Amino acid sequence: MAIAQPAQPAQPAEPTDGRRIRGLKTRQAILAHAARVGSAEGLDAVSLQRLADDLGISKSGLFAHFGSKEELHLATVEAAAQIFTAEVIRPALAQPRGVGRVWALCNSWLSYLERGVFPGGCFFWAVAEEYDSRRPGPVRDSVLAKKAYWSYSLKRAVMEAQEAGDIDADADPEQLAWELDSLMGGANSGFKSGEGRLALERGRRAIRERLVRASTSKAGTKFG
């Protein structure tokens, strides 16, 4: 007859590492502020000392999160990309493939300016202008790669709209995406230079008219 083994005491659940969670929240708050500063004043204005002064955190405390200015800048660009994805790309992807999704991407982008997600307008337009003429390096490469991904997202949406029969099959998707991106860039410049929401409405009108010209009769009223 087998002898029953005594029940082992239940092991206590591993306690949540509260310090780690607080550290992640602090890091997120630091990077969100860094992205706002970068959009308005450029990444060169984002330093450990500046963030320590703005946020009331010791500089040594910031070194615990970022070992160098370059590391801080790379993390800021990545944080801005995550915000951009959540504010612009992900909502637009909820639309079915077609010209409606192309319009949603453009409109989400203009809305993100309008809502002041970053005080300096589009973070990536600002920092790309700051870095595009500099020597190649990790920060410049990251900035330009993320801006290029946005251009690719527009091009891909145009190609999907062509496959859906919403946009003329003879249209050059890269050219159309470039034109749409340029119109958004113009709206961004006007928005920052004092035209405010008028620049965004002009941008919306120009984008809508360009998409109407590119669309087939099948597209109907899927946008605008």
pLDDT given at position 89: 96
Our CA angle for 152, 156, 161, nearest 5°, is 150
CATH class name, domain 74-219: mainly alpha
Which two structure tokens, joined as six digits, stand for 70? 């370059």
pLDDT at 14: 43
- Provide the pLDDT for residue 63: 79
Global pTM value: 0.85
Annotated domain spans of the chain: 74-219
Alpha carbon separation from 11 to 8, 15, 138, 170 (Å, rounded):
9, 11, 46, 66
Per-residue pLDDT at 46: 95
Residue 75: in which H helix or E strand, if any?
helix 69-84
The rounded average pLDDT for each run of 10 residues, N- to C-terminus, in the chain (224 residues) is 44 56 81 96 93 88 84 96 96 95 97 95 93 89 94 97 96 98 96 92 96 88 65
What pLDDT sits at residue 26?
Answer: 84
Nearest to 127 by CA among 77, 175, 163: 77
